[in-house]
Structure 1
Amino acid sequence: MKTLVTGGTGTTGSRVAALVGPSARVATRKPAAAGQVRFDWTAPETYGPALTDIDRIYLVAPIGEADPAPIVEPFLAVARDSGVRRVVLLSSSAISEDTPRLGKLQRLVREGFPEWTVLRPSWFMQNFTGEHAVAQGIRSAGEIVTATGSGRVAFVDADDIAVVAARALLDQVPHNTDHVITGPQALSYADAAEIITEVTGKPVRHRSLDTGEFAELLAATGLPREFAAVLAGLDEEIRHGAEDRVATTVDEVVGRPARTFAGFVAAHRDSWR
């Protein structure tokens, strides 16, 4: 079995490739290591070589696209013609197949391949670290800015997403289902700020904007305005309770509990200094 991992150097893709092991082929625009292959969504000539001898795909749509289906659909057609049988799509807990534009990818995967899984993770714990805007706000101003109000999210560790993805790719029996993947506890961003404060000693607070203000703030960071509006709209849905749920998928698929947010913060306490 050979697996093509799109987004293979990203947050989940790099973890999935490591779990899949030597049978993984990492798709990247700038291959620089063994096991990597050039792949560019805007260059269809890279599709065929990347898919040679591949029978399964970890699919991460192009980042920053409010309507990625027109870009991804031609690639999936080439994959199907190349003999790919199994596709594991990274989607979002906020997206269903009925979601305008973004939901079409789920339908393409379900209807186009005999073996499929749609991963629908909650918001990543990793968004609080690294170079993400949330992490930068914590480091520079001691605040998390959202449009979520007091709405709650069961933040999930990317390691937990990746291990579910690897099982969906490698298990002999295809999952052929959606997997909603969350952490074990739903928290508001104010709750998350309080946990970071308690664990690290760095004072952190949550500042909530209205949806329009937040969209403008995101656009000012360089995001396409249409995509910024989509992200701000997701925050508004959180405010109204859309993500206030906990799933047991990690436990059921992997056989262990999902990581807690407090455990994640303790393991990354130096990220905000």
Structure 2
Amino acid sequence: MTEPAAVLVIGATGTTGSRVVRGLVARGHRVRAASRSGALVPGAQGVRFDWYEHATHAPALDGTDRVYLVPPPACADPAGTMLPFLELARASGVRRAVLLSSSAIPAGGPAVGRVHRALPELFEEWAALRPSWFMQNFTGDHAHARSIREEGTIRTATGGGRVAFVDADDIADVAVHALTDARVPGTDLVVTGPAALGYDEVATILSEVGGRTVTHRHLTYEELRDRLALAMPVEFAAVLAGLDGDIAAGAEDRTTDTVLRVTGRRPRDFRTHVERAAAGAGTRRGPGPARPPRPGA
């Protein structure tokens, strides 16, 4: 008997990818979990994959008909790397592609927006997930979370702008449905949490739940860009700092019903996320907000 085709999950050890793998495995799907290390993932077949090593691409695609796409990290223009892979995927028999993009980047926009625009030309079955900024940015391994743990400070150039932060669990649940439901979305899905919050409000909730004062420090665009450029290419730092400017202008001050409509349940709110993260950290770490397992956006 021929073995059913598998779902290839790129970024399988990352914030959303690891959750997508778990969700697919729990539903009985075969999964090829792709990462640069090719690490074993419970219930899935670990395969080595690196966006910048073309020799890893065809082997990762072997026996797959659907793919979850996480763009290469800290890349200001991922289309040059991703589009040749997607052409190879189509030629290899992949029929459905689900892209992790960002609520801040529309189809045809900068960075991953070019990949989004190309999806319907490459695949009859496709979806582009455009999640808002991750709640895990404040409780995981993101620069915000590290700054909170080490200094009790969040630094942004968002001013009084508001964001409907979303839990990565909710993003992954939407992704699993987009990958496996009989009816493919065939569109972009803006995925948000249930309420838009300013960073001052975020700091207040983190302080109340963690029992330790967290403050929001307001930076200018230039201050944030230069600070980020210490840890990444200046071009990508400029992109991220510019996104903070968009937040300040109100670009992310919205909520959607995507999680409820696609999964049948309501998205998790920020306070509940922080409480869950703090409870999970209780036996592993000292004081301060928790640290479970990405993009940022």
TM bucket normalised to smaller: over 0.9
Tell me what 2:269 maps to.
260
Q: Secondary structure at the match of 2:154?
A: strand
Please report how far the alpha carbon of residue 206 of structure 1 lies from its aligned counterpart in structure 2 after TM superposition: 0.4
**Selected match of 2:18 from 11, 14, 27:** 14
Alignment of structure 1 residues 232-247 onto 2, 5 Å: 232-247=241-256
Who is 2:293 aligned against? none
23-32 or 149-158, which moves further after superposition?
23-32
Question: What CA distance in whole angstroms lies between the structure 1 residues aligned with 2:266 and 2:257?
Answer: 8
Moved more, 38-47 or 144-153: 38-47
8 Å CA contact 2:134–2:166 kept in 1: the answer is: yes
Q: Which amino acid aligns with 1:54?
A: T
Distance 1:152 1:46 in 2: 40
Aligned residue in 2 for 1:24: 31
1:100 and 1:196 mapped to 2: Cα distance? 32
Identity percentage of aligned residues: 54
Which of 220, 225, 229 is the matching residue for 2:234? Answer: 225
Q: Is 1:103 aligned to 2:113, yes or no?
A: yes
Residue 111 of structure 1 deviates from its aligned partner by: 1.5
How many residue pairs match? The answer is 272
Pick from 51, 59, 62 the counterpart of residue 41 of structure 1: 51
User: Over aligned residue pairs, what C-alpha RMSD do you find?
Assistant: 1.2
**Partner in structure 2 of residue 66 of structure 1:** 76
Offset, 1:131: 2.3
Q: Distance in 2 between matches of 1:191 and 1:164?
A: 27
Unaligned ranges ≥5, structure 1: none
Q: Shift in Å at residue 24 of structure 1? A: 1.0
1:130 & 1:60 partners in 2: Cα distance?
A: 18
Q: How does 1:1-273 map to 2 (within 5 A)?
A: 1-21=5-25, 22-33=29-40, 35-220=45-230, 222-269=231-278, 270=281, 272=289
Shift of 1:25: 0.4
SS at match of 1:31: coil
* Alpha-carbon contact 2:162-2:199 (below 8 Å) kept: yes
Give the CA deviation at 1:136: 1.2
Note the alpha carbon deviations across 1:133-187, whole angstroms, 9 max, x for none: 1011111111100010010000000000000000000001211111100000000
Q: Which secondary structure state, in structure 1, belongs to the residue aligned with residue 99 of structure 2? A: strand
Give the drift of 1:31: 1.5
CA distance in 2, matches of 1:28, 1:199: 34
CA distance in 1, matches of 2:162, 2:98: 27
How far off its partner does 1:229 sit?
A: 0.5
Q: Distance in 1 between matches of 2:156 and 2:213?
A: 17
With 156-165 and 98-107 compared, the bigger mean Cα shift is at: 98-107
Distance in 2, Cα, partners of 1:82 & 1:102: 22
Letter in 1 for 2:34: A
Mean CA deviation greater in 123-132 or 234-243? 123-132
Q: Could you state the TM-score of these two structures normalised by the residue count of structure 1?
A: 0.97
| Superposed displacement of residue 110, structure 1 | 1.9
Q: Which runs of 4+ in 1 moved over 3 A?
A: none
